[in-house]
Amino acid sequence: MDRPLTAEIKKLSFFYGEKKVVHDISLPIFQHALTALIGPSGCGKTTLLRCFNRMHDLYKGNRYQGEIRLLPENKNILAAHLNPMEVRMRIGMVFQKPNPFPKSIFENVAYGLRVRGVKRRASIERSVEEALVQAGLWFEVKDRLRTSALALSGGQQQRLCIARALATKPEILLLDEPTSALDPISTGHIEELVTELKRSVTIIMVTHNLHQAGRISDYTAFMYMGELVEFGPTQQIFTNPVQAKTEAYITGRFG
Ligand SMILES: Nc1ncnc2c1ncn2[C@@H]1O[C@H](COP(=O)(O)OP(=O)(O)O)[C@@H](O)[C@H]1O
Ligand SMILES: [Mg+2]
């Protein structure tokens, strides 16, 4: 039943200065599946997600303990000697609020390729088109690629951010509540898109929307106060959780 792994979190703890907010979490991340991270606000979902692309390195005093191993090469992406830029090329991230750069649609998607040193124009154009097609945005924007990304609607901006993350062909796509700022129709688009995308990329998605997790995720990890309470196939977590806390959360009795 289980698929191959894309990554494995091993005894991961995370500290903002002295404050420990992720406690000794171990979790498999299955390939070409969508893993949902759920749990009440403040339980550490975003913090855990951001460990994956070494976002926390940007601030002094933050500290990781434990490992996140990328398979099959078994590389610990938290290793101090590893260049965070290298990690970020392999792991794309999309945030709660769409955050396109104040540049053209084209340049937003081309950004990661340029950072990576891709110079050939034809190659950049091909990758930009591919990423926009993958993000379900191509037909809406193909005639206005050189216009500002900021003129797009919120839902389009979020799909653009997904295209930007996909352009460098990441192995893992991190989504932090990607629909929380969107209307129901745009949310539906993103959910369909993500369901399609997971055939080719491993996805980890934070959501506080239990219905969303139930609809589109394959695996669910329930976190509470920085700890992983329970992990399993989504259907099992939602219909037959082992832990009382999970059941209480799923049935809406807290959080
Ligand atoms: N930059 C930060 N510095 C210190 N504490 C933080 C920082 N960001 C988040 N926290 C704390 O870490 C805990 C987990 O937060 P977060 O990962 O954002 O939770 P979630 O995404 O589940 O709502 C919370 O107690 C929050 O207040
Ligand atoms: Mg969060």
Domains defined for the chain, CATH in brackets: 5-250 (3.40.50.300)
Tell me how far the alpha carbon of residue 20 lies from the centroid of ligand 1, in angstroms: 10
Give the tokens for residue 58: 């940007």
Across-strand partners of 94? 175
What is the position in ligand 1's atom list of the atom closest to the CA of 41?
A: 23
Cα–Cα dist 221/168, whole Å? 27
Which ligand is nearest the CA of 62, by number?
1
Output the pTM of the full model.
Answer: 0.96
Locate tokens 């991190």: which residue?
Answer: 174
What is the position in ligand 1's atom list of the atom closest to the CA of 22?
A: 14
Tell me how far the alpha carbon of residue 128 lies from the centroid of ligand 2, in angstroms: 29
Contact in structure between 111 and 166 (CB atoms under 8 Å): no
Q: Digits of tens for pLDDT over the chain (255 positions)? A: 568 999 999 999 999 999 999 999 999 999 999 999 999 999 999 999 999 999 898 889 999 999 999 999 999 999 989 988 888 888 999 999 999 999 999 999 999 999 989 999 999 999 999 999 999 999 999 999 999 999 999 999 999 999 999 999 999 999 999 999 999 999 999 999 999 999 999 999 999 899 999 999 999 999 999 999 999 999 999 999 999 999 999 998 876
Residue 167: half-sphere exposure toward Cβ, Cα within 13 Å? 28
Position 220, amino acid: T
* Beta strand spans in 103-189 (E): 172-176
Tell me how far the alpha carbon of residue 19 lies from the centroid of ligand 1, in angstroms: 10
Using most ligand atoms within 8 A of CB, pick from 16, 22, 228 the residue to mutate for ligand 1.
16
Contact in structure between 33 and 212 (CB atoms under 8 Å): no
